[in-house]
Homo-oligomer: A and B are copies of this chain.
Amino acid sequence: MTLSPIARIRRFNRAVTTETGVLDQSFLGRGRPLGAARVLNAIGPTGRAVSDIRAFLDLDTGLLSRLLRSLEDEGLASVTEDPADKRRRIAHLTPEGLREYAAYESLSDTRAQALLDRHPHPEALLAAMDLIASALGRDRIEIVESDPHSAPAIFCLESYYAELAARFAMGFDPAKAARLDSDDMRPPRGVFLVALSDGLPSGCVGLKGTDKGYAEIKRLWVAPSARGLGLAKRLMSKAESYAREMGITTLRLDTNSALPEAAGLYQRLGWSEIERFNDDPYPDLFFEKRV
């Protein structure tokens, strides 16, 4: 008996479907149809545009409208018009709505916590979930412009530094690396891009403006759970198009031979190796590309 990959995926689907079924049942326990509960959860604590909810839950406009009315009747939500565009409307939760929202959150969080608590290797379980979520969500990974000091950017950069520290024989100390002025990676001089996979920061790249006639690509990183999905290539090509828009014609970057997959990627993407162009202690490989 060899168990086919397809059979294993089927088993996974069955287990997960059962689990969500149980959760839905517990949601019903709060005395509200699932549709209304889903809308309440989609509104969220910060409020959300009606059109946004519709796209997210893939609901008919009539159906959503009625579900919002039912939440309003319950005193859980209120819908107000968007001052910027009076056609659009924004749904918010009332204080009672926030309480109900928290109650739903706690139902699912309790289940999640119980799953973690009784598992012998919670970290392995979470890593497996990240891997699957990234594989399933690869088409939904979006690359967004992000301030280098924003929370998702910092999350990526810290993961990146930690990985360099683990992979470089001499370790890696961000303080010793070439100083990086955040302003160089903010418009109009440059840009910092973060890849978000269902909200999880899963990769980043910086385009750093200089005064030397070229711009640099810095801090290219892809989360382990998202590797192999072509994300590095997408990040690079997006950074390049930003450069083109800014009128930059030459790009440079440096890397280290301890990261062979990076050098391989640059070559595949049309970069050429050049002589050392800075005195940063960590890199030992240097590339250039005209865009």
Contacts and interface: CB of A to CB of B under 8 A. Distances in A.
A4 to B, nearest CB: 10
Interface in A181-236: 197-201, 227-229
A15 interface: yes
Interface string A134-154: 011110100000000001101
Interface stretch (A94-102, A107-115, A243-251): A107-115
Contact of A126 (B5, B19, B20, B118): B5
A162 interface: no
B18 A136 contact: yes
A213 to B, nearest CB: 35
A9 B112 contact: yes
A136 B16 contact: yes
Interface residues of A, number: 59
B135 A132 contact: no
A131 B15 CA distance: 11
Contact of A1 (B3, B119, B201, B228): B201
Contacts of A133: 8, 11-12, 14-16
Contacts of A132: 12, 15-16, 125, 128-129, 132
Given A6-B109, A136-B115, A228-B120, A130 B1 contact: no
Given A1-B151, A20-B17, A108-B13, A130 B200 contact: no
Contact of A228 (B2, B121, B138, B197): B121
A2 to B, nearest CB: 8
Given A129-B132, A131-B128, A8 B228 contact: no
Given A16-B136, A18-B136, A20-B16, A200 B3 contact: yes
Given A7-B199, A16-B136, 13 more contacts: A1-B201, A3-B201, A5-B112, A6-B113, A8-B133, A9-B115, A10-B108, A12-B130, A20-B20, A115-B135, A118-B229, A119-B229, A132-B132
Interface of A: 1-3, 5-21, 58, 108-109, 112-113, 115-116, 118-122, 124-133, 135-138, 140, 151-152, 154-155, 197-201, 227-229
29 contacts: A1-B151, A1-B152, A5-B126, A6-B109, A6-B112, A7-B199, A8-B129, A8-B133, A11-B133, A11-B197, A13-B108, A15-B132, A15-B133, A15-B136, A15-B198, A16-B20, A16-B136, A17-B20, A21-B58, A118-B138, A119-B135, A119-B228, A120-B228, A120-B229, A121-B228, A125-B131, A128-B129, A128-B131, A132-B132
